[in-house]
Amino acid sequence: MHPQIPLPFKLQDDFNFNNFTVGENPLIIKTLQVLNEPFVFLWGENSVGKTHLLQAACQLKTQQGETASYLPLRDLHTLPPAILEGMSSLNLVCIDDIDAIGGKANWEEALFNLFNQIKEAGGRLIISASNTPEESNLALKDLTSRLNSGLCLHLLPLDDANTISVLQDRAKKLGLELNQDTANYLITRFPRDLHTLWQLLDQLDKASLAAQRKLTIPFLKTTLQGTLTTT
């Protein structure tokens, strides 16, 4: 099997297509699995699952015996963009959070060149962002033009029912029982992004273990008192 990543960034095993909650995004998931498109621009608000999907695409490619690399720009943008050299030889390159390099001329130019090299080599490229190409605060107009040339997909957040289902599944893996009322309490009083909700569940898991208590609404109120809420 070919190596997944030529840089020191490991893929998370649980970031795969099998355990991604599709919600209102079935066509997007199918597109990324089949990946007939040479270039996909995937955008959506924070914590809707863009990182999960980019890593899932890399995992699938490597399982198929091809080469893939996942590049998280929020971690890489302080490094010289020369680390991109040679990436065009891979079958798939997934670049996460292009917003992180907005206004960095050297990085923008390097990504513009990489885009052209991948296109010429016949590879596949997936780029994620929090906004559309026009709203990604990129100074290099030629790069924005390239980003607009591919298939632009808007990843939608989960609705209440799917968010609760994901929360309950996560809680079950932690050995916790999260009933409908308790889950509803969490999503109506705290930020709905999954990153925040995951952190709350981890906090509740530790508190529940220490107190030997089940997850009830009174227990949640006491444990999470002082935590930032949406109300």
pLDDT at 209: 92
Give the chain's mean pLDDT: 90
pLDDT at 196: 85
pLDDT in tens, 106-142: 999 999 999 999 999 999 999 999 999 999 889 999 9
Q: Is residue 5 scored above 60 in pLDDT?
A: no
Q: Is residue 231 scored above 50 in pLDDT?
A: no
Residue 70 φ/ψ, nearest 5 degrees = -110, 125
Q: Among 129, 154, 179, which residue terminates a domain?
A: 154
Residue 229 lies in a domain: no
CB under 8 Å, gap of 24 or more: what pairs does 7-16 form? 7/69, 7/71, 7/76, 7/83, 9/70, 9/71, 9/72, 9/75, 11/55, 11/58, 11/59, 11/70, 12/55, 15/51, 15/52, 15/55, 15/56, 15/59, 16/55, 16/56, 16/59, 16/60
Q: Is residue 8 scored above 60 in pLDDT?
A: no
One domain, residues 186 and 82: no
pLDDT at 125: 98
pLDDT at 212: 93
One domain, residues 92 and 129: yes
One domain, residues 30 and 137: yes
Interior angle at CA 134, CA 133 and CA 139, nearest 5: 95
Residue 7 lies in a domain: no
| Residue 177: CATH number of its domain | 1.10.8.60
pLDDT at 229: 54
pLDDT at 49: 92
One domain, residues 150 and 166: no
pLDDT in tens, 139-153: 999 999 999 999 999
One domain, residues 23 and 135: yes
Q: What DSSP state is assigned to residue 130?
A: S
How far apart CA 101 and CA 98 sit, in angstroms, is 6
Q: Is residue 105 scored above 50 in pLDDT?
A: yes
Q: Is residue 184 scored above 60 in pLDDT?
A: yes
Q: Among 127, 154, 181, which residue terminates a domain?
A: 154
One domain, residues 28 and 131: yes
pLDDT in tens, 69-93: 999 999 999 999 999 999 999 999 9
Q: Choose among 36, 56, 57: nearest CA to 151.
A: 36
pLDDT at 13: 78
Q: Is residue 177 scored above 70 in pLDDT?
A: yes
Do 166 and 156 form a contact (C-beta atoms < 8 A)?
no
One domain, residues 139 and 118: yes
Q: Is residue 3 scored above 60 in pLDDT?
A: no
pLDDT at 9: 66
Q: Is residue 224 scored above 80 in pLDDT?
A: yes
pLDDT at 176: 92
- For 42, the domain range is 17-154
One domain, residues 81 and 175: no
| Residue 105: CATH number of its domain | 3.40.50.300
pLDDT at 168: 92
Q: What DSSP state is assigned to residue 165?
A: H
Q: Is residue 230 scored above 70 in pLDDT?
A: no
Q: How many domains does the chain have?
A: 2
Q: Which amino acid is at 31?
A: T
